[in-house]
Amino acid sequence: MAKVSINLATGSLQKEDLIVGIDLGTTNSLVAFINPDGNPQVINDTGKGLLVPSIVHFNGDGSVKVGNEAKEYLISDPENTIFSVKRLLGRSYQDIARYRDFFSYKVIDDNTESLVKIKVGDKFFTPIELSGFILKELKERAEHALKTPVTRAVITVPAYFNDSQRQATRDAGKLAGLDVLRIVNEPTAASLAYGIGLNPEEEKTIAVYDLGGGTFDVSILKIQNGIFEVLATNGDTFLGGDDFDRAILNYWISENKLDAEALANDQTLTQGLRLKAEEAKKALTTQNLYNDALKGIPLAISKNKFEELISEKVQQTLDCCANALRDAGLKPEQIDEVIMVGGSTRTPLVKESVAEFFCKAVHDQINPDEVVALGAAIQSDILAGNRSDILLLDVTPLSLGIETMGGLMDVIIPRNSKVPTKAGRQYTTSVDGQVNMKISVFQGERDLVSENRKLAEFELKGIPAMPAGLPKVDINFLLNADGILTVQAIELRSGIKQEVEVKPTYGLSDDEVEQMLLDSIQHAQDDVQQRMLIEARTEAEQMVYTAERFLEKNLAFLQENEIVQTKNHIEALKASLNAGDKDLIHSKIDELNEYTHPFAERVMDMAIAQAMKGKQIE
């Protein structure tokens, strides 16, 4: 049962587990929640509209405006008005250098691989901070409209976002005072909004076509057992509704023979025309003709003309769809459902072309600019446990484990495990008095860690000095639903612990995952041989160590020939180590064992007898 409490500040009833869903878009952002009747709904903070333009304006006096109020400054104060910050999120300067000219504000070029910064006046901001402003605005709107504190959210990102971009989104949420429970792919959210994938029994392959303000992307998803697997993504990061506006603007300029230079010098007129162009585009989704004027300039365009102007752009999006299908190894007929996302899919030509391409009717019943936020709200409802019948799962593509003696991979979470998941194992020290233990975390399918991918390394320090084998070190792996791995090492006797957090898929492409799997199959036999050799060697080294310590400690209890013979056996074992023959090593281990066994027992008894004299055993 959901907990209900009363908010003392507002007097309103407050459901403690309210989690909002946020679509943090390049052009527009939205926040949605599940309303009391159980349906998702975009939050409308009175009079402010559903969409919050993803724009931040900095005033000279230090005040910050977000959304429509900031949008007004795009033309009058371009240097201090930040738009499209999503394009910079989690990016280095090198990533974005190609399209540096796109931004009218200062993106700092430090020529490094570190994340970009934006200069506004004499202040520097990171894209995380700027996105944080937008998220904070959304949070406040939600709080104002719902009259309850909002501290938890699910935020969506494009399916192609890498881990650095996902982490940046998460960090932006944190800055805005939100606990980001999950980062969800936009196409997954859109699919949820249409109820596709909510039934764990259903198996479907879907295409999500997302044409927004400045970006286009298409994702092919396979939904199975409640798992949304991204089969392929494709798109164009500089293709969207803005291009449609520009096409209309250019058409009017040429129709009216307007002077390009004069226009460049009259930003107010240009901006006015641009807004009219967008208005015309929107009108043409339901009308066949748009007719208006601005400052005596006639502004008319027919739907036919508009479609002619944008047909090439629309064709480009279909080419991307074809590429995505090719990458997924599918034909258009194999796609079960097509979902339309993004404000620009309202344009009839877009809808018709996509339907024709995939040979089926597309899903366009839900507002395309709201559908992602609505799906995010459903995801948040699932996380809140209000839809306990549904569990969204993901699988980990590669095994996760740690390095053990001899550079071997000890798998703790095997590949294809459903996440979230946790697993652990107990380890001990290999040397007497060992106080530090190095823990190296790897990912991959090979038996040797040197062939796998290192994710992290840390040291568990301050283990109390004990004989080898006595400390008990539990190593626990916790892989959360976002694929973030927490590795914790704890020495049970002393309680000391240490932990690290890593993102195993960071910087890893699907191709690389595939290659790693292929390698492991190809090398399976060699790997087994090598593992057995290393295990034999490790056992031998351990044995040599113990035997030498044994001699040292118990000289007094041994006869001269026993000492000499034991030493000979130890030397023989040592000599066998580098021959690369595990059977030889095993035979030498056995010989040493057999030789020392009889007197080892005798010595033990004597040593214990000696020790007991001084100590009382209770």
Could you say whether residue 171 binds ligand ADP (CB under 6 A)? Answer: no
Cα distance between residue 388 and residue 382, in whole Å: 7
Least Å distance, CB 68 to Mg ion, is 17
Q: Which of 45, 65, 86, 369 is catalytic?
A: 86
Hey, what are 4's tokens?
């209900």
Cα distance between residue 413 and residue 502, in whole Å: 14
User: Does 65 qualify as catalytic in the annotation?
Assistant: no
Could you say whether residue 281 binds ligand ADP (CB under 6 A)? Answer: yes
Q: Are 208 and 341 in contact (CB under 8 A)?
A: yes
Q: Which of 29, 32, 35, 34 has the alpha carbon at shortest distance from 55?
A: 29
Burial of 486 (0-12, 13-18, 19+ CB in 10 A): middle
Could you say whether residue 368 binds Mg ion (CB under 5 A)? Answer: no
Q: Of residues 211-240, which lie at the interface with Mg ion (CB under 5 A)?
A: 212
Q: Which of 210, 236, 445, 527 is catalytic?
A: 210
Cα-only R_g, the chain: 32
Q: Are 496 and 462 in contact (CB under 8 A)?
A: yes
Hey, what are 423's tokens?
């697993």
Q: Which of 163, 171, 186, 236 is catalytic?
A: 186
Hey, what are 466's tokens?
């004990």
Q: Which of 364, 451, 435, 363 has the alpha carbon at shortest distance from 401?
A: 451
Given the rule CB under 6 A, which of 35-43, 207-215, 303-311, 490-498 is the region that contacts ligand ADP? 207-215
Strand partners, 153: 20, 180
Could you say whether residue 158 binds ligand ADP (CB under 6 A)? Answer: no
User: Does 106 qualify as catalytic in the annotation?
Assistant: no
User: Does 48 qualify as catalytic in the annotation?
Assistant: no
Residue 235 contact, options Mg ion, ligand ADP, none, Cβ 5-8 Å cut-off depending on partner type: none
Residue 503 contact, options Mg ion, ligand ADP, none, Cβ 5-8 Å cut-off depending on partner type: none
Comparing every residue's Cβ against Mg ion, the nearest one is 25
Helix (H, G, I), strand (E, B) or coil at 547: helix
Q: Which is closer to ligand ADP, CB of 213 or CB of 397?
A: 213
Q: Of residues 16-55, which lie at the interface with ligand ADP (CB under 6 A)?
A: 25-28
Q: Of residues 353-372, which lie at the interface with ligand ADP (CB under 6 A)?
A: 369
Query: Omega before 332 cis (within 30°)?
Result: no
Q: Which is closer to ligand ADP, CB of 281 or CB of 537?
A: 281
**Exposure string (b/e) for 100-133, b if CB count within 10 Å is 16 or more?**
eeebebebeeeeeeebbbbebeeeebbbbbbbbb
Least Å distance, CB 179 to ligand ADP, is 24
Given the rule CB under 5 A, which of 18-26, 61-69, 442-450, 498-506 is the region that contacts Mg ion? 18-26
Q: Are 527 and 520 in contact (CB under 8 A)?
A: yes
Out of 45, 143, 242, 527, name the contact with ligand ADP by CB under 6 A. Answer: 242
Hey, what are 122's tokens?
């004499």
Helix (H, G, I), strand (E, B) or coil at 426: strand
User: Does 210 qualify as catalytic in the annotation?
Assistant: yes
Q: Which is closer to ligand ADP, CB of 188 or CB of 347?
A: 347
Given the rule CB under 5 A, which of 22-30, 48-56, 94-102, 331-339 is the region that contacts Mg ion? 22-30
Active site residues: 23, 86, 186, 210
Q: Give residues in contact with ligand ADP (CB under 6 A).
A: 25-28, 212-215, 240-242, 278, 281-282, 285, 342-344, 346-347, 369
Residue ranges that bind Mg ion, judged by CB under 5 A:
25, 212
